[in-house]
A = this chain, B = another copy of it.
Amino acid sequence: MPHSPTLDIVGIGNAIVDVIAHAEEDFLITHGISKGTMTLIEEDRAHLLYGAMGPAVEYSGGSVANSMAGAAALGARTAYIGKVRDDQLGGIFGHDIRSAGVGFNCLPANGGSTTARCFILVTPDAHRTMCTYLGACRQLGPDDVDTTLVASAKVTYLEGYLWDDPGAKAAFRVAMDAARAAGRKVSLTLSDPFCVDRHRADFLRMVEEDVDILFANEDEIISLYQTEDFDEALDRVRHHCEIAALTRSEKGSVVVSGDEAHSVDAEPVDRVVDTTGAGDLYAAGFLWAYTQGGDLRACARAGGIAAAEIISQVGARSDADLAALVTSRLAVNPTV
């Protein structure tokens, strides 16, 4: 019989430093970048793009890493597995995630490609478009997964992006198997509609067989089921995994679990500054509430509040006192 969990969430993902700059729509067109998506780029193109873009600010990022930092800020006991190099950016990534209160003991690579960077171009409408140079993330492998750590967490949270590299995919499988063997929950974010497109068959099988809690936005869930209709996608996913939390930007989110369904409005936002991290922080709030025993509506609301906060600032790691914010808003209106 497994021990009772000592961690709430362990997250596994691509460990990335974000390089955030403002850009006009024309810049995306000139460089052939598809707005609102994440494109993988090689080193040459990374240099070219960086040379062409405006002044930037560096934040630690990575989708699952952002979620773990957010969940830790809310009070969840979290750990993170992801690969950086032993370079300056790797040192920055390690410092930021540890100082956010997330356990991080994955050894950095001491050779090969440099720490991953994601160039995030924020257009005047506050939308973000990402170009990722995976670098050292490609060195993540099954040996990096501490299965004892995974077995000790209520939820293992994985990102679809890991599927883009064979080693990371193998690490993903090892973690998922270890979580299931220990009777823990497996959670997946579909990451990006193009990522879903690249790995649809595998993702469909996982959603049906292995995933307990699925996170996806409208574009991603529509891509998964190759339908034009959100409601149809919703109908299909609700019987495939225990819980599916589907985010719909300003329309809020829908959470389904078998015959149960909850539609939750988006939290009000004074001014949307940068949508980077909206999905990551939704998952952070949701999984925090879930591991604290919250019902599905409370999970969705906590996710929505955390997401609303992160899009009111630049970057995907919150400056604000997320715990105070989420707790007070949930308390004021717990039934909405």
Give the B-binding residues of A (Cβ under 8 A): 22, 50-51, 53-60, 69, 87-89, 92, 95-97, 99-100, 114-115, 314-315, 317, 319
Considering the chains assembled together, what is the distance between the CA atoms of A56 and B60 in angstroms?
A: 8
* Min C-beta distance of A237 to chain B, whole Å: 34
A102 — nearest CB in chain B belongs to which residue?
A: B55
A317 — nearest CB in chain B belongs to which residue?
A: B55
Known interface pairs A88-B87, A88-B88; A99-B54 also in contact (CB < 8 Å): yes
User: Of B50, B55, B96, B317, which is within 8 A of A69 by CB?
Assistant: B55
Given contacts A22-B319, A50-B95, A54-B99, 17 further A-B contacts (CB under 8 A): A51-B95, A53-B99, A55-B60, A55-B69, A55-B95, A55-B96, A55-B100, A55-B317, A56-B95, A57-B57, A57-B58, A57-B315, A58-B58, A87-B88, A88-B89, A88-B114, A314-B319
A21 — nearest CB in chain B belongs to which residue?
A: B99
A100 — nearest CB in chain B belongs to which residue?
A: B55
* Min C-beta distance of A108 to chain B, whole Å: 14
Considering the chains assembled together, what is the distance between the CA atoms of A252 and B88 in angstroms?
A: 39
Residues of B with C-beta under 8 A to A95: 50-51, 55-56
How many of these chains are in the complex? 2
Considering the chains assembled together, what is the distance between the CA atoms of A163 and B219 in angstroms?
A: 57
Residues of B with C-beta under 8 A to A114: 88
* Min C-beta distance of A117 to chain B, whole Å: 9
Considering the chains assembled together, what is the distance between the CA atoms of A115 and B91 in angstroms?
A: 14
Considering the chains assembled together, what is the distance between the CA atoms of A92 and B100 in angstroms?
A: 24
Residues of B with C-beta under 8 A to A96: 55-56
Q: Is the CB of A99 within 8 A of B59?
A: no
* Min C-beta distance of A212 to chain B, whole Å: 30
A69 — nearest CB in chain B belongs to which residue?
A: B55
Residues of B with C-beta under 8 A to A59: 57-58
Considering the chains assembled together, what is the distance between the CA atoms of A95 and B55 in angstroms?
A: 7
Considering the chains assembled together, what is the distance between the CA atoms of A319 and B274 in angstroms?
A: 13
